[in-house]
Structure 1
Amino acid sequence: MPLTDAKARNAKPKNNQFKLFDTDGLFLLVSPAGGKWWRFKYRLGGKEKLISLGTYPEVSLAQARARRDEARGQVADGIDPSQARKALKAARVQNESTFEVVAREWHTKFTPTWTPGHAVTIKSRLEFNVFPWIGERPVNEIKAPELLMVLRRIESRGAFETAHRIRSICGQVFRYAVATGRAERDPAADLRGALPPVKPKHHSAITDPEKVAGLLRAIDSYQGSLVTKCALRLAPYLFVRPGELRQMEWAQINLEAGEWNIPAEKMKTRQPHLVPLAHQTLEILRELHPLTGTGKYVFPNPRTSKRPMSNNAVLAALRRMGFEKEEMTGHGFRAMART
């Protein structure tokens, strides 16, 4: 007699588990704890087998019968429903473990720790240089020679530094895959030394003491805007990155304590940074405060106070003073501090 929904719903647990049979191999298994599981019993290759079809009432009687009928159709075609389910699960796991899926997951997880620009750069490097060739490959099947072919494509267009950076990015993705149980090892580590070394490029900087003195005198006599002049005068005292300097905010500055507190989201390293301010620095800021102190930025854009001064403001000022790009850049002030 076929099982009814009322009988399945009203079945009470007993000391031992028991079965409520439907038809064509379908039954409901009731445990002593009250759990109810749909099971389908079938024979294949002379052996009796079982497959789970879900729990009741999450899976209704009608749904269980539909799943049983699908499984019976597989048996009729000589397919083991249990093995077919395992194969489908393995394929789903494999699809969820391709290099691109893992890389995007890694990128999403670590984006909050990077600057927005850095996050965009990493994503674009992967999308244009890596995903088209190994993005759909299971991450645990990618070997060092396959990754090397990807890097050789980048090398072939003369982008040697980019190839090194992408090897490093891929290494982080593979290590994340290892940590999350989707790969055994990092093949990028096997490629150390496989790429031609890149000669490091340094930003142009004046480091000779006599020439530095000339630069400082030129800054003091600069005839451009006061905002730009103050930025130039501060740079040799603070030695921060140009982007950090131009995005300086009045709210971050404590003139009384002589401190500049740069929040983590403004730093390339994503770590908060405290910059002590010398009395010369405080004098420059106090001089500028009446002009820009009512706004957000210490060095606002001349077109709108809602944005900081542009990247090119300091560079343009250096050019106006006669310093060529091969001689001095905004980053060059940091190089002074290293000499």
Structure 2
Amino acid sequence: MNFTDRAIRALKPKEQRYEVLEDGRTGLRLRVSTVGRKSWLFTYRKGGKLNRITLGVYPEMSLARAREEVSQRRSLLNRGLDPAHIERIHKEEERQAPTMAQLAELYLERYAKAKKRSWREDERLLKKDVLPRWGHRKAKDIVRRDVVALLDDIIDRGSPIVANRTLACVRKMFNYALERSLIEMNPCSAVKMPGKERKRDRVLNEEEIRTFWHGLKEARISLPIRLALQLQLVTAQCKGELIRAEWSHFDFALGWWTISAERTKNHLAHRVPLSPLALESIEGLRGFHSLFLFPSRNGEKPLLDTSIDHAVRKNLDVLGIAPFTPHDLRRTAASHMTGMGISRLVVSKILNHAESGVTAVYDRHSYDSEKRHALEAWGKKLEAIIRGKESNPTSLAAVR
């Protein structure tokens, strides 16, 4: 039969299904069921056996597309390959290809939890926007326009920064899949961050510090979270490193907190001197009987980063100052220390910022003494601010 759309539409169902061959021995057939369903087949002989491969249903698969499919399979035959065998391989690969839900679980368990302190944030982003939309789909089937559509929807609900974080998380996950040969390309390739990042420069002034500190007593937050916020301001350390601190990391006799390289963000070991104000805040944590200074409710794990962020957002009205984040407390401490005349180098050492260049290679000085003088001076200044008094002059000669 000479296949044309008109001729195909004219084919009527019979009591039994039947097949019609295309003229020219192309191997293309059309099967007509008893209810009129028309399916494309490709038939060929290999080893004396007639093989059949179902291609699709007409008119969803057009005549032109069906001929393309036949041409591709004939090309395999010409190269000595069996199209049916190749088909079985493709079906098995499709069956084994991970869904987005499976990829997300693999990424979180094998990569994020092992290498990212912020893995819980990745998990939250994936569960909030990515998996409800893509969870059932094969990871290899996600394309760039899917990524762009996802980000557009997040932007449209007024969350541009969340869109940025989601893109970064998804891009990292697809890179992980690419490295493991689970996909052939990263659909996030060439997709730019959709939201404009705002560089934060929030620093609490003295009046805000005083209001914040006293407002913590009235806030609807747990004692560990209240003391974590206080200690972040007192020590100028990262929130994540602070809340994961264990009692065994502290030498209270000498007044030191040691953070191993495995626990710091930049993988540089760090020693933090404990001022009297820091030690006073830590004393309030001794009643929790946990491995961690800042335990979760069951005491078996540390507080979550997000718990502290949420507590601040929820209690801004009680704290009585303009919106801020926990990280702003670290910046506040650093800014006030430099304002007191403490050198930027010493403040940088307190913050455990990584250095680069020749100076970093040859400078092996620990700066322990300078850090202690600086944090003790900051502690005295902070105590004066909290009490609403003028701070006593402190010699900073050793920390300049």
TM-score, normalisation: structure 1: 0.55
Give the Å deviation of 1:262: 4.5
In the alignment, does 2:117 pair up with 1:112? Answer: no
Aligned length: 257
The answer on whether the counterparts of 1:206 and 1:336 sit within 8 Å (CA) in structure 2 is yes
Q: Look up the equivalent residue of 2:237 and give its one-letter code.
A: V
Q: Which runs of 5+ in 2 are unaligned?
A: 1-43, 54-76, 336-400
Match of 1:200 in 2: 198
The answer on whether the counterparts of 2:126 and 2:166 sit within 8 Å (CA) in structure 1 is no
Matches within 5 A, 1:1-339: 45=45, 48=47, 75=49, 82-97=82-97, 100=100, 101-110=102-111, 111-115=113-117, 117-124=120-127, 125-131=129-135, 135-136=137-138, 139=140, 142-192=142-192, 195=194, 197-200=195-198, 202=200, 206-208=203-205, 210-211=206-207, 214=210, 234-242=231-239, 244-245=241-242, 248-262=245-259, 269=265, 274-281=270-277, 283-284=279-280, 288=284, 292=287, 296-298=291-293, 311=308, 315=312, 323-327=319-323, 330-339=326-335
CA–CA distance in 2 between the matches of 1:97 and 1:112?
24
Relative to structure 1, is the Cα distance of residues 121 and 271 closer, same or farther in structure 2, using a 3 angstrom cutoff? farther
CA–CA distance in 2 between the matches of 1:142 and 1:251?
46
CA–CA distance in 1 between the matches of 2:108 and 2:248?
31
CA–CA distance in 2 between the matches of 1:136 and 1:213?
51
The residue matched to 1:149 in structure 2 has which SS?
Answer: helix
The superposition leaves residues 207-229 of structure 1 with CA deviations (integer Å, 9 ceiling, x where unpaired) of 33x4367459x65x979999888
Give the Å deviation of 1:109: 1.9
The residue matched to 1:169 in structure 2 has which SS?
Answer: helix
Relative to structure 1, is the Cα distance of residues 265 and 211 closer, same or farther in structure 2, using a 3 angstrom cutoff? same
Give the Å deviation of 1:127: 0.9
Q: Look up the equivalent residue of 2:276 and give its one-letter code.
A: Q
The answer on whether the counterparts of 2:104 and 2:173 sit within 8 Å (CA) in structure 1 is yes
CA–CA distance in 1 between the matches of 2:284 and 2:52?
84
Give the Å deviation of 1:165: 2.3
CA–CA distance in 2 between the matches of 1:335 and 1:214?
16
Percent same amino acid among aligned pairs? 17
Relative to structure 1, is the Cα distance of residues 335 and 143 closer, same or farther in structure 2, using a 3 angstrom cutoff? same
Relative to structure 1, is the Cα distance of residues 275 and 157 closer, same or farther in structure 2, using a 3 angstrom cutoff? same
CA–CA distance in 2 between the matches of 1:226 and 1:146?
44
The residue matched to 1:240 in structure 2 has which SS?
Answer: coil
Match of 2:358 in 1: none
CA–CA distance in 2 between the matches of 1:261 and 1:333?
21
Relative to structure 1, is the Cα distance of residues 87 and 103 closer, same or farther in structure 2, using a 3 angstrom cutoff? farther
CA–CA distance in 1 between the matches of 2:138 and 2:310?
44
CA–CA distance in 2 between the matches of 1:147 and 1:223?
44
Relative to structure 1, is the Cα distance of residues 212 and 169 closer, same or farther in structure 2, using a 3 angstrom cutoff? closer
Relative to structure 1, is the Cα distance of residues 192 and 263 closer, same or farther in structure 2, using a 3 angstrom cutoff? same
Q: Look up the equivalent residue of 1:112 and give its one-letter code.
A: A
Give the Å deviation of 1:327: 5.0
The superposition leaves residues 190-237 of structure 1 with CA deviations (integer Å, 9 ceiling, x where unpaired) of 2226x3x3343859x5433x4367459x65x97999988865653323
Relative to structure 1, is the Cα distance of residues 239 and 93 closer, same or farther in structure 2, using a 3 angstrom cutoff? same
Q: Which moved more, 1:162-171 or 1:77-86?
A: 77-86
The answer on whether the counterparts of 2:234 and 2:278 sit within 8 Å (CA) in structure 1 is no
Give the Å deviation of 1:163: 2.4
Relative to structure 1, is the Cα distance of residues 212 and 91 closer, same or farther in structure 2, using a 3 angstrom cutoff? same
Give the Å deviation of 1:114: 3.3
Q: Look up the equivalent residue of 1:200 and give its one-letter code.
A: R
The answer on whether the counterparts of 1:263 and 1:273 sit within 8 Å (CA) in structure 2 is yes
Relative to structure 1, is the Cα distance of residues 190 and 95 closer, same or farther in structure 2, using a 3 angstrom cutoff? farther
CA–CA distance in 2 between the matches of 1:226 and 1:136?
45
The answer on whether the counterparts of 2:309 and 2:326 sit within 8 Å (CA) in structure 1 is no
Relative to structure 1, is the Cα distance of residues 314 and 280 closer, same or farther in structure 2, using a 3 angstrom cutoff? farther
Relative to structure 1, is the Cα distance of residues 284 and 188 closer, same or farther in structure 2, using a 3 angstrom cutoff? same
Give the Å deviation of 1:175: 2.2
CA–CA distance in 1 between the matches of 2:191 and 2:224?
49
Relative to structure 1, is the Cα distance of residues 108 and 248 closer, same or farther in structure 2, using a 3 angstrom cutoff? closer
Give the Å deviation of 1:336: 0.7
Q: Which moved more, 1:269-278 or 1:101-110?
A: 269-278
Give the Å deviation of 1:276: 1.2
The answer on whether the counterparts of 1:292 and 1:299 sit within 8 Å (CA) in structure 2 is no
CA–CA distance in 2 between the matches of 1:227 and 1:153?
37
The residue matched to 1:181 in structure 2 has which SS?
Answer: coil
CA–CA distance in 1 between the matches of 2:292 and 2:134?
39
The residue matched to 1:171 in structure 2 has which SS?
Answer: helix
CA–CA distance in 2 between the matches of 1:207 and 1:123?
33
The answer on whether the counterparts of 2:148 and 2:191 sit within 8 Å (CA) in structure 1 is yes
Relative to structure 1, is the Cα distance of residues 222 and 118 closer, same or farther in structure 2, using a 3 angstrom cutoff? closer
CA–CA distance in 2 between the matches of 1:48 and 1:307?
65
Match of 2:74 in 1: none
Relative to structure 1, is the Cα distance of residues 173 and 207 closer, same or farther in structure 2, using a 3 angstrom cutoff? same
